[in-house]
Amino acid sequence: MASNERTRGSNWPKWLPVVVLFLLVDAIGGWLYYRYQREHSQDVVIRAAATRYGVDGALVKAMVWRESWFNPTVRGRAGEIGLMQIREPAAREWAEAEHIAGFQHEHILDPGSNTLAGTWYLAKLLRRYPQADDPVPYALADYNAGRGHVLRWNQGAAATNSQQFLEQMTFPGTRRYIETIRARREYYRDEFPPGR
């Protein structure tokens, strides 16, 4: 009788592994669905801003991914807000260029306004470096670290050679910022092909 009790007490129901597997698949599926939904939640505003200002949509989406992970209400420590983490001076510059009356920095918590302001600013930065073989690293460094640092790093061959520019960069965090955005840009290339 003692051996029967031990055997009965140690047996798990035969259906338990199926239930556990079902719950695990459901949880993973839910997480993947949430991630997919979040990652595509801003595609319409990203595409609109990229088209309006003539900037590669894959680059804009990669920046939104890096800056906010598609969270339109995120706030940075230095006063940056929204999808593209826009600071007040850049937001005001965009609003003035677009003749937006009564503009307040908080208005760019709106995803559409935020991506327009950020993409406008990025387009401006890309135009600053026409001599570069690839203006993207320069513009991203400017966006992340500021123009003063870019002017220090783009001396000599680095003024036109983006690889040299990255090697002369003294901020490892800015270099990683550029590398992660460039890699993510390629990830989004199928969704946002060049020239569209």
User: 195 in a domain, yes or no?
Assistant: no
pLDDT at 9 over 70: no
Note the pTM of the prediction, 2 decimals. Answer: 0.82
Cα 160–chain centre separation: 26
Q: Write out pLDDT tens, residues 154-187.
A: 999 999 999 999 999 999 999 999 999 999 999 9
Same domain, 21 and 70: no
Average pLDDT score over residue span 58-73: 97
Do 85 and 105 lie in a common domain?
yes
Residue 136: predicted pLDDT: 97
Q: Bin 100: left if φ > 0, else alpha if -120 < ψ < 50, else beta.
A: beta
Give me the mean pLDDT over the 132-137 stretch.
96
Looking at the fold, whether 123 and 57 belong to one and the same domain comes out as yes
Judgement on whether residues 136 and 54 belong to the same structural domain of the protein: yes
| CATH number, residue 54 | 1.10.530.10
Q: Is the pLDDT score of 8 beyond 80?
A: no
Domain count across the chain: 2
CB burial of residue 57 (10 Å; 0-12, 13-18, 19+): buried
In a domain, 192, yes or no: no
Q: Within this chain, do residues 35 and 125 fall inside the same structural domain, yes or no?
A: no
